[in-house]
Structure 1
């Protein structure tokens, strides 16, 4: 058991060795620890697997997720055969030291069914309605996930696919155009027009953030820092 249990370890992969991270983990009696995998950009939970010290070491060496299969009793490199690899951006160890979180940049769906996340089966009616109590930004979260999925899957005929394939210059052009349309709508004193154009602008900004691999959470964090009382 590690003497470091009791605090959270969060580090970019490049800033910590596998041995240092292993020392912060409380391995179970089989030498395993649950590993939660999260999309670094959208924060969507993609899957859960198990790691041992060897898979942890290989994850550091490859820069991609490697796990231990309890059913097969062997190591497995995620995406080695399917191509749906996961580049590791950062590790976290929880306060008890008995669970790790890997933030990744996925190269394709995480689930063997082809779904983006293994947690695609939901109870209830699916995505919360926009404006639902306690979750007024649910539509932003849903849109952020959809845009990230579109970048990976590139479905034919989708407008978001078109933007990603045209590249950053096209996305920037659209952001500029929509910003100008917002200004015109405001000058026209048209609430309906402003609502419509602002929606277009927010959508294209989310596409830009995804293309730049800048999580929306970082933007919100910057706003929170600016809002701190002086």
Structure 2
């Protein structure tokens, strides 16, 4: 890997990202020695600009960043360091240096989960989701079953739009069922992660 360290400081910015959640955890700087130590020990090591020395993240707190992978950008002048964090990353005790929770996000599906939760907690007569929760778990489970059958039927035909529409309906109703049972996509993700090991 060719790294273009800054000619003046001999440093390169190192963006640290959780290998599983893909959340950015922190930004640090590496010189060649810090990079080499990171590769050798599989624990992320930086060059501290304030202390003017190498420091391995976690050397005092025990909150190490275990190296999963490292790559440089198209110009070779910054690094993306993929890690498995052991505890909080920030010295202030938060998951990230931006005080954000380091948890999985599923794009629009996470937004949709929040909408479903809101409709459940703040029901209105006009809300389809609220009406399903009011009818109870049997009705919600029945809807998931109906949508699953419709997906299977459409899978055997060649109408891609209908197949995608029914697939969206199935996923939507499944998200409702998960919340009715007290779960979210993060719980399902964890089951899949455990199976993958």
Q: How far apart, in 2, do the equivalents of 1:77 and 1:194 lie?
A: 44
- SS at the partner of 2:190? helix
* 102 and 187 in structure 1: CA distance in 2 versus 1, 3 angstrom threshold: closer
1:207 aligns with 2:190: yes
Tell me by how many angstroms 1:205 deviates: 1.3
Partner of 1:35: 14
Pick one of 197, 201, 207 that aligns with 2:177.
Answer: 197
Aligned residue-pair number: 141
Deviations 1:27-73 (A, max 9, x none): 10221100000000000000000000001111011101000001110
CA-based RMSD: 3.3
Counterpart-to-counterpart distance in 1, 2:52 and 2:112: 41
- Write the distance in 1 (CA, Å) between the matches of 2:189 and 2:54: 37
Which structure has the higher relative contact order (CA within 8 Å, separation 6+)? 1
In structure 1, the gaps of 5 or more residues are 1-20, 122-129, 143-180, 215-230
Deviation beyond 6 Å, 4+ runs, structure 1: none
Question: What's the CA shift string for 1:172-209, capped at 9, x where partnerless?
Answer: xxxxxxxxx986553478x9975532443734312224
- TM-score normalised to structure 1 length: 0.53
The answer to whether the 8 Å contact 1:52/1:68 transfers is yes
| Alignment-derived partner of residue 3 in structure 1 | none
In structure 2, C-alpha distance between the alignment counterparts of 1:188 and 1:88, rounded to whole Å = 45
Give, in angstroms, the shift of residue 81 of structure 1.
1.1
Q: TM-score, normalised by structure 2?
A: 0.61
Q: Is the 8 A contact 1:84 1:109 kept in 2?
A: yes
CA contact under 8 A between 2:113 and 2:175: conserved in structure 1? no
Instruction: Tell me the secondary structure at the aligned position of residue 55 of structure 1.
Output: helix
Cα distance in 2 for partners of 1:66, 1:40 equals 17
